[in-house]
Amino acid sequence: MLSKVIEKALNGQIRIEAESSQIYLAMACWAEVKGLEGVAGFMYDQSDEEREHMLKLVKFVNERGGHAHVSELKAPNVTFNSFKEMFEMLLKHEVFVSESINDLVHAALQERDYATHNFLQWYVAEQIEEEAVARTILDKINLIGDDKGGLYLFDRDIQQLTVSTAAANNPQ
C-alpha cells in the first residue's frame, strides 16, 4: 500500500513524464517542418518512450492501492532557434527529470517504501541512458558546427544512434 506522500510524489512524476512526451512531440513537429526527418523520427520515438514511462508509473500507482491522476499539462515550446538549441533543451530537461527521479527515490527511502524504491531503480538507470544520449548528440552537433553537409549526415544517422552506458552494461 502506498503512503499518501509517495502516491502524491508518484503522481507528480506521472505529470512530468506526460509533459516530457509533449515536449518531445513538439520538438518532433518542429524538426519535421524544418526538413529534418531523422531528427523528427528520433523525437517521435522519444515522445512515445516518455509516454510508456508515464504509463508504467500509472499502473504501478494503481496496482499498489493508490490512484494515478491524469492532470493538465503545461504547453511546451513549439519553436526553436536551431536544432542545437533544441537538443540543449532536451539535455536540460533530462537532467531535470533525473533530479525528480532522485527526489522520488529519496522519498521512498524516507517512507521505508522499499517496493517503490526497487521499482524506481529502473528509472534511475533509464535516466543515466537518457542523459548520455543527449550529451552524445550535443557532442556530434558541436563537431558539425555550421557544416550543412554534416547536418545532412547527422539527420540521416540519428535514427541509428545507440549509446552504450555503464548502467546499461551492468546487469543487476
Choose among 99, 18, 5: nearest CA to 61.
5
DSSP code for 81: S
Mean pLDDT of the residues in the chain:
92
Cα gap 56→161, rounded to integer Å: 24
pLDDT in tens, 90-102: 999 999 999 999 9
pTM, full prediction: 0.90
- The span from the CA of 37 to the CA of 158, in Å, is 10
**Region of 145 on the Ramachandran plot (φ > 0 left; ψ -120 to 50 alpha; else beta):** left
Sketch out the chain's domains with CATH numbers.
Answer: 4-160 (1.20.1260.10)
pLDDT category of residue 66 using cuts at 50, 70 and 90:
very high
User: pLDDT confidence of 46, banded at 50, 70, 90?
Assistant: very high
**Residue carrying the nine cell digits 526538413:** 35
Amino acid identity for residue 80 in this structure: F
Own/partner contacts of 131-135, CB < 8 Å, gap of 24 or more, are 131/91, 131/94, 131/95, 131/98, 132/163, 132/165, 133/161, 133/163, 134/87, 134/90, 134/91, 134/94, 135/91
Is 70 exceeded by the pLDDT of residue 168?
Answer: no
Question: Which tens digit of pLDDT belongs to each residue from 99-123?
Answer: 999 999 999 999 999 999 999 999 9
Taking CA atoms, 138 is separated from 30, 31, 133, 135, in Å, by 18, 16, 9, 5
Q: 22 with 76: CB under 8 angstroms?
A: yes
